[in-house]
Amino acid sequence: MAKPSPTYAGSKELVALGIVIKDARLELGFSQEALANEVGIDRSYMGGIERGEHNVALVNLVKIANALKITAAELLAEAKLLISQIFDTFAENFYDGRKTMMIALGLCTHSESSTYRVGLR
């Protein structure tokens, strides 16, 4: 069984790609095992890809995309969009939380809180 990438396992790019692959697989009604068989890789390796543990080779990415009836470029574009959406949500929540904390601590009033933005929007 392949071990997770010691350098890249859990990176935002691989996690996002794994989420996109899993979503596309489920949308087509494939089991993880069926997709792995179609691609020609081990089911446990496919699971690792979907969890963002493996730095997927381009050849395997193309095979996965073909099995999912989309292009590798579309998979990567969806992963990039997901990363952007996650960052935007994080930034929004960070800003709102910081503003609320400053108001609660009496460091600023509600109307002044917008001056404490740190370029997150």
What pLDDT is attached to residue 113? 46
What pLDDT is attached to residue 81? 92
Domain 12-87 class in CATH:
mainly alpha
What pLDDT is attached to residue 32? 97
Domain spans, the chain = 12-87
What pLDDT is attached to residue 49? 96
Closest CA to 49 of 16, 86, 74, 6: 16
CA distance linking residue 91 with residue 55, whole number of Å: 27
CA distance linking residue 30 with residue 22, whole number of Å: 9
pLDDT in tens, the chain (121 residues): 677 777 778 888 999 999 999 999 999 999 999 999 999 999 999 999 999 999 999 999 999 999 999 999 999 999 999 988 887 777 666 666 666 666 666 665 555 444 444 433 3
The runs of H, that is alpha helices, within 1-121 are 12-28, 32-39, 43-50, 58-67, 72-104
What pLDDT is attached to residue 51? 93
What pLDDT is attached to residue 106? 63
